[in-house]
Chain A
């Protein structure tokens, strides 16, 4: 299995399309950093226009490396699933399209093994992509903008909330958030691999995955009570942004943030369980389907 995984990673590393994702992330992050370096104050004014009358804030300190990373993640973690599908959606269908699937399956390896190897390779790609993101969105931002306490702007029901996290209480939250994002993006990878089993070219599963994610995200963001209760809990897209939970710091009775705390651990655990269940479901269906599939490509 390890041997096969190494082979799969070697193939991924040799393909030019692999690096599109890294280049795209770098380009977007650098544009963000340039824009905030040039005119970050206008963004802060916009964010705080409703509350700046009764809230004293040093805006130059508020725009720091931690804050930058939060803003970038908020934007990018919606687009990154598309980049993950470029690799995962190609897993089986790409081999079928190239004609190499039939050669692979004449070797003494089981179809389950092959599919699991494809899945683990996609997972590793996702993790490496997130590490790359962390390097440029977090560490490069810290180097460019420095570090300080972080402000989080949060819409909670009808209210807007500003949470302040001290600078020595932030880094672990980012590690946890990136870990959560890895699980969330692996759901997308598993879905792509599942769709990839049924296709004989890469475009179909990639487009289908993106369409499903967009459609489910729209439904997840609909504020209709009947959907809130009966549909949203079952959509994996409702949990993709659950990483934000690590930044919702617990507040004491006297209104002070509690260092090292998280407001709702239970919700994060629940979200993770649902995401893992989706991975198992998608992967299970993919394995069963792939084992039965006649290879006609």
Chain B
């Protein structure tokens, strides 16, 4: 599977405040990739760096196999994005807004293309209404229409269901699923709601205070039988080398001064046994329950 987006050791600092801290992850072609974190976790900052709105302090972003910093024009022409609110020109109609942004995307803009796009997001019958008369949900759909009008390969939607009523949320969710399943697009969706990501994404990352907490397939991470185990030892490198020679090798994640593994509860005793038999000096083994509990806990303590 092709890697569409690769982020390596990305950081963004504002004086003493670190908004994004050494973040690394990758998105594959065809993924609906959930970008999960509570408000202020650094999701929007990361997305803005992916779209060249913010200059990273350090790290690199490769999209479509090329460094973003050196191929901005080419890369952005293949990305469609809605960043936070879908703010548009309120004094223009939906059709005029769409036309204007389509013309900036270097494509052949025809009346049919624009009307088809408005039809796809369910706004064809309101195409001549000024955007100031639109509801939040309609603006969001128009924003997505603008993001899609140039048929991008990668779509980035930052909190697309924010401020929407239940029907609006369902509409956006269905649209994202349609983009992925019917049109084969790669979609990155950020949200602070685990339930949202669970319904639409196949892979996800959770970030907190700018740092990666966990990344993987949604079905694995949200499997109720799985438990996130946090291990602290006197020598984590040694512990890691021991576990790498065991069946737990694919589950190991290095988290600064701790090791994380997402495993079945029943496997915890085996894990401890392997380490003890290899003379790993264990300080603590802490089951963090399921990812859902862990995420809810993060949200509660914020």
Q: Residues on A close to B: CB < 8 A?
A: 3-4, 7, 10-11, 14-16, 98-100, 102-110, 292, 294-296
Give, as a whole number of angstroms, the nearest-CB distance from B77 to chain A. 4
The 7 A-B pairs at the shortest CB distance, nearest first, are namely: A99-B87, A295-B53, A108-B77, A107-B104, A108-B76, A294-B54, A106-B51
| Residue contact A106 to B76, C-beta cutoff 8 Å | yes
Cα distance A16–B90 when bound, in Å?
12
Of the residues B53, B84, B89, contact of A98 by C-beta under 8 Å = B89
- What per-residue 1/0 map shows which CB atoms of B82-110 lie under 8 Å from chain A? 11110111111000100011011110000
12 A/B residue pairs, CB under 8 Å, sorted by A: A4-B104, A10-B96, A11-B92, A14-B89, A99-B87, A103-B87, A103-B143, A107-B101, A108-B77, A108-B105, A109-B104, A294-B48
Interface size range on B against A:
20 to 34
Give, as a whole number of angstroms, the nearest-CB distance from B54 to chain A. 5
Cα distance A16–B88 when bound, in Å?
17
Is residue B119 contacting chain A, with contact meaning CB distance below 8 A? no
Cα distance A110–B73 when bound, in Å?
8
- Known: A105-B53, A106-B81, A110-B73. Is A16-B104 also a contact (CB below 8 A)? no
| Residue contact A103 to B83, C-beta cutoff 8 Å | yes
Give, as a whole number of angstroms, the nearest-CB distance from B105 to chain A. 6
- Known: A11-B100, A16-B91, A98-B90. Is A106-B83 also a contact (CB below 8 A)? yes
Cα distance A100–B146 when bound, in Å?
12
| Residue contact B73 to A108, C-beta cutoff 8 Å | yes
Give, as a whole number of angstroms, the nearest-CB distance from B32 to chain A. 20
Nearest B residue (CB) for A99: B87
Among A100, A102, A103, the most chain B Cβ lie within 10 Å of the Cβ of A103
| Residue contact A106 to B53, C-beta cutoff 8 Å | yes
Given A99-B85, A102-B53, 18 additional A-B pairs, CB 8 A = A4-B104, A10-B100, A11-B89, A98-B87, A98-B88, A98-B90, A99-B84, A102-B48, A103-B81, A103-B88, A103-B146, A106-B81, A106-B83, A107-B105, A108-B77, A108-B104, A294-B55, A295-B54
| Residue contact A108 to B83, C-beta cutoff 8 Å | no
Chain A residues contacting B87 (CB-CB under 8 Å) are 98-100, 102-103
Chain B residues contacting A108 (CB-CB under 8 Å) are 72-74, 76-77, 104-106
Cα distance A125–B51 when bound, in Å?
31
| Residue contact B48 to A295, C-beta cutoff 8 Å | yes
| Residue contact B100 to A105, C-beta cutoff 8 Å | no
| Residue contact B92 to A14, C-beta cutoff 8 Å | yes
Give, as a whole number of angstroms, the nearest-CB distance from A86 to chain B. 15
| Residue contact A103 to B101, C-beta cutoff 8 Å | yes
Chain B residues contacting A11 (CB-CB under 8 Å) are 89, 92, 100
Give, as a whole number of angstroms, the nearest-CB distance from B95 to chain A. 13
Give, as a whole number of angstroms, the nearest-CB distance from B1 to chain A. 26
| Residue contact B106 to A7, C-beta cutoff 8 Å | no
Among B52, B82, B83, B104, the most chain A Cβ lie within 10 Å of the Cβ of B104
Chain B residues contacting A296 (CB-CB under 8 Å) are 48, 54
Cα distance A104–B83 when bound, in Å?
11
Is residue B79 contacting chain A, with contact meaning CB distance below 8 A? yes
Cα distance A238–B92 when bound, in Å?
40
Nearest A residue (CB) for B79: A106
- Known: A7-B104, A294-B55. Is A100-B73 also a contact (CB below 8 A)? no
Cα distance A14–B100 when bound, in Å?
13
Cα distance A10–B100 when bound, in Å?
9
Chain B residues contacting A98 (CB-CB under 8 Å) are 87-90
| Residue contact B92 to A104, C-beta cutoff 8 Å | no
- Known: A108-B106, A295-B54. Is A102-B83 also a contact (CB below 8 A)? yes
| Residue contact B55 to A292, C-beta cutoff 8 Å | yes
Of the residues A7, A99, A110, contact of B100 by C-beta under 8 Å = A7
- Known: A16-B91, A292-B55. Is A3-B103 also a contact (CB below 8 A)? yes
Of the residues A7, A100, A105, contact of B88 by C-beta under 8 Å = A100
- Known: A103-B83, A110-B73, A294-B55. Is A15-B91 also a contact (CB below 8 A)? yes
Chain A residues contacting B90 (CB-CB under 8 Å) are 98
Chain A residues contacting B79 (CB-CB under 8 Å) are 106
Chain A residues contacting B83 (CB-CB under 8 Å) are 102-103, 106
Chain B residues contacting A99 (CB-CB under 8 Å) are 84-85, 87
Cα distance A16–B85 when bound, in Å?
24
- What per-residue 1/0 map shows which CB atoms of B48-72 lie under 8 Å from chain A? 1001111100000000000000001
